[in-house]
Amino acid sequence: MTDKPALLFVCLGNICRSPLAEGAMRKAAAETGLDIEIDSCGTAAYHVGEPPDPRSVATAAAKGSDISDLRGRQLIKADFTRFTHIFAMDHQNLRNIEAVRPADATAHVSLLMDIVEGREGAAIADPYYDGEEHFEFTWQDVWAAAQAIATQIKAGG
């Protein structure tokens, strides 16, 4: 396990929500001067090696975060000791993460929105099958979470 915070954002295919969350966290970390490790992945292998959905790339770019370099990957057992925190985008992916969690896992696993006051237990809706405006809604959620995480880390939590 790393000495500095290492955050992993997880959705199903790693092309929509989790890359947006990674991009939001990169932006929040840069704005607050945090030295943290940030990554994203999926619980399924549907899009391994593929770039994020073009709508995710466009949404993040419009917010000042370039995620075009990201490539999809699947959650692996080593992630449970490499990262200090693993954030699931929704309840099904949280169950998927818990199902493969090894006995020696050290990462704290939770829903991403659990970190946002008043949004505990909320899922981040998957925008994949919806219009482009839904990617904006997803960004708003992941940005709120990224800001909350940055604030917590800055406060020493």
Q: What is the pLDDT of residues 77-130, one digit of tens each?
A: 999 999 999 999 999 999 999 999 999 999 999 999 999 999 999 999 999 988
Of 53, 79, 90, 126, catalytic: 126
DSSP state of 115: G
pLDDT score of 157? 65
41 is catalytic: no
Cβ(152)–Cβ(110) under 8 Å?
no
State the pLDDT confidence band at 156, using cuts at 50, 70 and 90: confident
For 89, the 3-state DSSP assignment is: coil
pLDDT class of 1 with cuts at 50, 70, 90:
very low
Among 17, 26, 55, 73, the one annotated catalytic: 17
11 is catalytic: yes
Domains with residue ranges and CATH for the chain: 6-154 (3.40.50.2300)
Residue 126 annotated to the active site = yes
Among residues of the chain, what percentage have pLDDT more than 70?
98
Mean pLDDT of the chain: 96
Q: Which amino acid is present at 95?
A: R
Backbone angles phi, psi at 77, to 5 degrees: -60, -35
CB 123 within 8 A of CB 111: yes
Sheet containing 6-11: give its strands across: 37-42, 6-11, 85-88, 108-111
Within 70-131, where are the H helices? 79-82, 91-100
HEC string of 100-114 equals HCCCCCCCEEEEHHH
Say which of 11, 16, 26, 39 is annotated catalytic: 11
Share of the chain above pLDDT 90, in %: 93
